[in-house]
Structure 1
Amino acid sequence: MNAHVDPFIRPAGRHQRAEGEANVSLRARPDGVIGLGRLRQQGSAKAISLLSGRTGEIVFLNTAGGLTSGDRLSYALQAAPGLSATATTQTAERAYRAPSGPAQMVVSHRVGQGARLDWLPQETILFDGASLERRTEIALEGDAACLMLEAVVMGRAAMGETLARVHLSDRRYILRDGAPVLVEPLRLETAALTAGPAVLDSARAFATLAFVAAGAEDALAPVRRVLDEPGTSGAASGWDGRLVVRLLAVDGWPLRRQILRLLAVLRPGPLPRVWQM
């Protein structure tokens, strides 16, 4: 990934950088029960497996507590054919002021034939001066399905935080047998903070929820019926095995409430345990 350095970033002395990689694979045992195939953890990235019967939940976490200049973080999950799994993060990811270049994060999941993966990380909180470049790729095999969420909160309103400078490059890809199904390139720069209705329209939080599965568009009407959480605005579209929801909110709290209502429509089971309110 090529790093991008904003004009407001100035060189700084050498500091210790956080690097982390967590790589998990899930397999089906002969009796059909889900099991852990491989677990690799290095540096500040960790993964906790919560497996029960035929479903699995993986919780990723960054023990460094956040991301700043030069940090590198990588999460990966491989789900074997026929499995149902959920992956999330223990808490919100925090992107702190980055005075000497961006932090980098890579998420790479692979979902086997007939399997389903719900990638539901908790929100990313951007602090003033944050610079983060992230790439998320979910590779589906055959008729595999996925539900992908990305939510971003710009400062914590309860703490009186506001953003004057920011850089976020957030590229998201869903592939099926190597061919792109959904491509979401997002670039958020300082100018967007005050650009008006064409961009954020004074919103402090936003999210995209994408469901890719056979017949995903059939959930469009139920999804639209719950897009009425106070403090949020949203729209949904569905076509050809894809459903995409985009949300804006005055702050992270109403955004989370709206997301939880949408997940109740799009998920057959309970929420990840770390998402409980």
Structure 2
Amino acid sequence: MFDQPDQSHHAILPRARGQIRAGFAWRDGATRLERLYQAGSAKAMLPPAPGCEMVLLNTSGGLTGGDRMQIAVAQDPGTRLTVTTQTAERAYRSTGGQAQVSARFSVATGAHLDLLPQETILFDRAALWRDQEVALIGDATCLWVETLVLGRAAMGEVLTRLELRDRRRITRDGRPVFVENLYLDDGALAGRDSPATLAGARALATLVMVAPDAADRLDCARAALGCDGAASAFDGKLVARLMAGDGWPLRQALMRLIGAIRPGPLPRVWQI
């Protein structure tokens, strides 16, 4: 007879670890990469672009329980930087524990950051904890977009189990400018059709611009909204929220919105 597998313990599955530390400075009339450390499954690329652009990549192919990713990016005074991702990030089903992502972006006085990651796709039974902060110093400015997609509609996926803790903060000189703590669990999914929760949407996005002229762009932002959404502005901050039945129409609406309030082309990876 064949030996029966030992059921007394579970195999210890490999977990992804990734770390990026990068610094940018103003030299020779342009923003230049000054230092870069990358380890594990976290990689950074700097493709040819009109400005300085850093593309983040997770070579593990996605996140699952027990994975750990750490990102730290610092900009010196006067720099302008766009940070994006090569493709959508995927949070897969967890067999134990949470995937944890920590990201901090420090933007010095006179500098600007466009933080434009592509969407995060959440799979059924995913467990993802993210803690992200953009720390502005002095008169620094930023544009930040975050998009979540609840499963792949084209594949007929319906999420019933989920644990998402997504903490987003923008501070200026240590004081909060924008704070959003998003928590989605099984209960939120069960009530997804309620107007008080997701109203049946499978994709949602938040755009935040922090700049002295943010309110001046409100009319352009509202005119560019092409799906369920709304925009408001106050005290040097513009916030837009969008929802759609799937990731593709939301992506198209976001591209129009970003193009309406931000000069120059989107990162090339967004256009592929």
2:46 is paired with a residue whose SS is strand
1:161 is paired with a residue whose SS is coil
In the alignment, the residues of structure 1 paired with residue 58 and residue 49 of structure 2 have an alpha-carbon distance, to the nearest angstrom, of: 24
Which of 246, 257, 271 is the equivalent residue of 2:252?
A: 257
User: When the two structures are aligned, how many residues end up with a matched partner?
Assistant: 262
1:66 is paired with a residue whose SS is coil
Instruction: Determine if the alignment matches structure 1 residue 111 to structure 2 residue 107.
Output: yes
Quickly say closer, same or farther: Cα 1:52–1:130, change in 2 above 3 A. Answer: closer
1:50 is paired with a residue whose SS is coil
Quickly say closer, same or farther: Cα 1:115–1:13, change in 2 above 3 A. Answer: same
1:64 offset after TM fit, Å?
Answer: 0.4
Which of 40, 45, 48 is the equivalent residue of 1:48?
A: 45
**Cα displacement string for residues 80-118 of structure 1 (whole angstroms, at most 9, x for unaligned residues):** 111111000000000000121110001110111111100
Which of 202, 217, 236 is the equivalent residue of 2:200?
A: 202
Quickly say closer, same or farther: Cα 1:92–1:52, change in 2 above 3 A. Answer: closer
Residues 85-234 of structure 1: pairs in structure 2 closer than 5 A: 85-195=81-191, 196-227=194-225, 229=226, 232-234=227-229
Quick check: 2:16–2:67 contact (8 Å CA) kept in 1?
A: yes
In the alignment, the residues of structure 2 paired with residue 266 and residue 119 of structure 1 have an alpha-carbon distance, to the nearest angstrom, of: 14
Using the TM superposition, name which of 74-83 and 195-204 deviates more: 74-83
1:162 offset after TM fit, Å?
Answer: 1.1
In the alignment, the residues of structure 1 paired with residue 48 and residue 155 of structure 2 have an alpha-carbon distance, to the nearest angstrom, of: 37
User: What does residue 78 of structure 2 align with?
Assistant: 82
Determine what percentage of the aligned residue pairs are the same residue.
54
Quick check: 2:220–2:261 contact (8 Å CA) kept in 1?
A: no
In the alignment, the residues of structure 2 paired with residue 172 and residue 157 of structure 1 have an alpha-carbon distance, to the nearest angstrom, of: 26
Quick check: 1:20–1:42 contact (8 Å CA) kept in 2?
A: yes
Quick check: 1:34–1:51 contact (8 Å CA) kept in 2?
A: no
In the alignment, the residues of structure 1 paired with residue 77 and residue 257 of structure 2 have an alpha-carbon distance, to the nearest angstrom, of: 26
In the alignment, the residues of structure 1 paired with residue 103 and residue 95 of structure 2 have an alpha-carbon distance, to the nearest angstrom, of: 24
In the alignment, the residues of structure 1 paired with residue 34 and residue 65 of structure 2 have an alpha-carbon distance, to the nearest angstrom, of: 33
Instruction: Please report the RMSD computed on the Cα atoms of aligned residues, expressed in angstroms.
Output: 1.4
**Cα displacement string for residues 211-263 of structure 1 (whole angstroms, at most 9, x for unaligned residues):** 00112111111101111x2xx30011100000000111100000000100011
User: What does residue 25 of structure 2 align with?
Assistant: 27
Instruction: Please report the TM-score for the alignment, with normalisation by the length of structure 1.
Output: 0.92
Quick check: 2:108–2:136 contact (8 Å CA) kept in 1?
A: yes
In the alignment, the residues of structure 2 paired with residue 169 and residue 81 of structure 1 have an alpha-carbon distance, to the nearest angstrom, of: 32
In the alignment, the residues of structure 2 paired with residue 76 and residue 168 of structure 1 have an alpha-carbon distance, to the nearest angstrom, of: 22
Instruction: Determine if the alignment matches structure 1 residue 275 to structure 2 residue 247.
Output: no
Instruction: Please report the TM-score for the alignment, with normalisation by the length of structure 2.
Output: 0.93
Higher-Rg member (1/2): 2
In the alignment, the residues of structure 1 paired with residue 180 and residue 256 of structure 2 have an alpha-carbon distance, to the nearest angstrom, of: 23
Which amino acid is the alignment partner of residue 205 of structure 1? A
User: What does residue 39 of structure 1 align with?
Assistant: 36
Structure 2: gaps of 5 or more residues: 1-8
Quick check: 1:68–1:96 contact (8 Å CA) kept in 2?
A: yes
Structure 1: gaps of 5 or more residues: 1-10
1:75 offset after TM fit, Å?
Answer: 2.0
